[in-house]
Amino acid sequence: MKGYIQKAETLIEALPYIREFNGKTVVVKYGGAAMKDDGRMASFAEDVVLLQYVGIHPVVVHGGGPQIDRMLEMLSIPTERKEGLRVTSQAAMEVVEMVLGGTVNKRIVALINKFGGKAVGLCGQDGGLIRARKLEARSRATGEPLDLGLVGEVEEIRPGILRSLEGDGFVPVIAPIGVGAGGEVYNINGDTAAAEVAAAVSAEKFILLTDVAGVLDAKGERISTMTGDEATAAIRNGGITGGMIPKVECGLAALRKGVRKVHVLDGRVPHSVLLEIFTDAGVGTEIVRSPEGAAGG
């Protein structure tokens, strides 16, 4: 009985937030620590179902790098990197499609459906959702072009299919695989794809689940809130470093394209998505537009 009372009290506390975000779209980039075990995956699926239940429209864009690495190793397909960037050969691309568009995508869909939601798995080819082109990468050392094979970048998101699914009460679960003008397929960075999806659907919030508490300051302490200008300055002066830089840059790009708020959350915390949306304290870092309306940069 005590457990039910606590859940009821929590729901009552969340009512103002439920009203505020009712009918709004929230895009979540799902991967990393949040996908490392069954318990965390179940927690995330429950969050998605509850968001849908209270009238919020979740859209999930997922990764799957570790799963791809394991499958490549099992199939004895060599993994090549250039300056730390994975090269996607034709053989590797077939594995990417199999793992991201198949195994990982369908597992997430199945979990959401198991907990009472309505989820549909998609990738870039479905409805022409993600139009892509070959990524033109360059060496950081020499500036010379780097050929990363079938690694792509988003050219256009066509959100029509997402709007149709949303209208019918479905949760889109998207694998970041794009399609080129000639039908060729590309492996796209999940954070980048998610940011573009968030912009295309005018998301109220863009949430990035990570392996750390959020954006950290020089003392290693979590920054609760920062503006786009502050985030840009922190990247330039070395306050934000390593793998957090591209995540924050994706968030800034989403803000510039109309997304209202970006949240960098700790995917290791159970129900972190709900805690961020439905509580005052939050559990990660919130990045908002600068007062003058710019997103920084």
Q: Domains of the chain: which residue ranges?
A: 26-288
Ordered mean pLDDT values, 10 residues apiece, the chain (297 residues): 42 60 92 83 93 94 92 92 86 95 95 96 93 90 89 96 95 97 94 97 95 87 93 92 91 96 92 84 84 55
- For residue 161, the tally of other CB atoms under 10 A from its CB is 16
Question: Looking at residue 292, what is its pLDDT?
Answer: 66
Name the superfamily (CATH) of residues 26-288: Acetylglutamate kinase-like (3.40.1160.10)
Question: Looking at residue 279, what is its pLDDT?
Answer: 76
**What CA–CA distances, in Å, run from 170 to 77, 106, 112, 159, 247?**
36, 14, 10, 14, 27
| Each residue's pLDDT tens digit, 41-67 | 999 999 999 999 889 999 999 999 889
Question: Looking at residue 8, what is its pLDDT?
Answer: 40
**What CA–CA distances, in Å, run from 126 to 36, 59, 173, 179?**
27, 15, 12, 9
**What is the 3-class SS of 127-179, one letter each residue?**
HHCEEEEECCEECCCCCCEECCECEEEEEEECCHHHHHHHHCCCEEEEECEEE
| Each residue's pLDDT tens digit, 183-223 | 999 999 999 999 999 999 999 999 999 988 899 888 888 99
Question: Looking at residue 15, what is its pLDDT?
Answer: 60
3-class DSSP state for residue 185?
strand
**Longest Cα separation, the chain:** 66
